[in-house]
């Protein structure tokens, strides 16, 4: 083989090697790009709490993006807006239904058996309406007003005494979700405002968190508060009624509170009802809002609607593990 032929063969071989090497590099580049492109949920993939079967997310990439925004903002920009009954409190414990704030009064020894039966009848009538996935919020609205009005009227007739409330709560089966101490204490430690917006009974709610040792200065409660006469006997309820499906109106009425927190433009919202989705409507200049919904009952019928409405849906999860894991990243 002459010198010219050798050079030609060498050039071809060299070109082949370059092409092969170039192809490998290009393939590696494409693979890396695809790998990076496919890993848009790196944070939540690394959080074991998100791998539980109770956690349902329709759009993981959106959740990742929101959480990144919350982390970037840190404690200085964060506030919590949350429901109470069946959100901070448990839905069930060891297979037994836990009481709401209203149920705690309904079941106490200060209420007569006759009254208790009437209150239970009201619950059996109106609760199925509250959670019926086939009815709109507008259709449910008048029934909720009717339910609350009738039950509150019955409670007023019982002549409940204010000084008995601590005992009533102490003797009840009130139960906060597992991890509540860490949740409340972490927020207090970092001075993160916590707005509890409840359609329950504010006096009972406050007593529950007071006895649990977590009624910290950063907590503000908006709820249905009882009004007592000069003898400490229940005579009515203060202000306008708050029920499950009028929290939008209540949120707007608390605009002044939210204006004071104008720098707290990142929100974690916790609820267990589609009506809770409106609790942040009074907040100006929202940058990031993560909506976490607890789906406690009638799961199959309601899961799709909850996934369409909440960023994260926790199904039959009696803990605050997921919210706590998010706070761990932010604070």
d(CA 6, CA 3): 5
Please spell the DSSP secondary structure of 73-96, one letter per residue.
Answer: HTGGGEEEEE--TTTTB-SEETTE
Query: Which candidate in 83, 106, 203, 276 is catalytic?
Result: 83
Strands (E), 146-209: 194-201
Alpha carbon 252 to its chain's center: 19
Do residues 176 and 104 touch, judged by C-beta distance below 8 A? no
Residues in the chain: 331
Q: What is the Cα–Cα distance from 38 to 255, expressed in whole angstroms? A: 41
What tokens were used for 230?
């000069």
Asked if residues 170 and 310 have their Cβ atoms less than 8 Å apart, the reply is no
- The residue written with tokens 């997921």 in the block is 322
Residue from 85, 106, 276, 317 carrying the catalytic annotation: 85
Q: Whole-angstrom Cα distance, residue 186 to residue 238?
A: 32
Residue 281 falls in the annotated catalytic set? no
Q: Is 185 a catalytic residue?
A: no
Q: Active-site residue numbers?
A: 83, 85
């Amino acid at each position: 083989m002459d010198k010219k032929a050798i050079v030609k063969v060498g050039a071809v071989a060299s070109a082949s090697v370059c092409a092969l090497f170039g192809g490998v590099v290009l393939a590696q580049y494409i693979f890396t790009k695809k790998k990076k492109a496919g890993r848009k949920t790196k944070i939540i993939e690394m959080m074991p709490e998100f791998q539980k079967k109770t956690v349902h997310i329709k759009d993981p990439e959106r959740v990742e993006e929101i959480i990144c925004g919350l982390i970037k903002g840190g404690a200085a920009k964060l506030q919590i807006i949350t429901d109470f009954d069946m959100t901070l409190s448990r839905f069930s414990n060891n297979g037994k239904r836990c009481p709401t704030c209203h149920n705690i009064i309904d079941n106490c020894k200060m209420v007569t058996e006759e009254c208790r039966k009437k209150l239970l009848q009201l619950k059996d009538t109106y609760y199925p309406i509250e959670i019926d996935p086939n009815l709109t919020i507008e259709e449910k609205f008048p029934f909720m007003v009717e339910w609350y009005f009738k039950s509150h009227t019955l409670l007023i007739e019982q002549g409940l005494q204010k000084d008995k409330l601590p005992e009533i709560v102490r003797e009840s089966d009130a139960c906060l979700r597992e991890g509540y101490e860490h949740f409340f204490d972490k927020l207090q430690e970092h001075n993160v405002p916590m707005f509890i917006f409840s359609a329950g009974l504010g006096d009972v709610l406050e007593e529950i968190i007071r006895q649990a040792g977590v009624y910290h200065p950063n907590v503000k409660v908006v709820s249905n508060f009882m009004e007592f006469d000069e003898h400490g006997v229940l005579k009515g309820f203060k202000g306008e009624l708050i029920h499950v499906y009028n929290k939008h109106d209540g949120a707007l009425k608390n605009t002044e509170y939210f204006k004071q927190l104008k720098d707290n433009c990142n929100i974690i919202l916790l609820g267990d009802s589609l009506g809770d989705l409106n609790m942040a409507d009074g907040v100006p200049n929202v940058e990031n809002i993560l909506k976490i919904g607890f789906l406690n009952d009638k799961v199959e019928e309601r899961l799709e609607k909850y996934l369409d409405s909440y960023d994260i849906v926790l199904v039959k999860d009696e803990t605050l593990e997921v919210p706590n894991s998010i706070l761990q990243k932010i604070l």
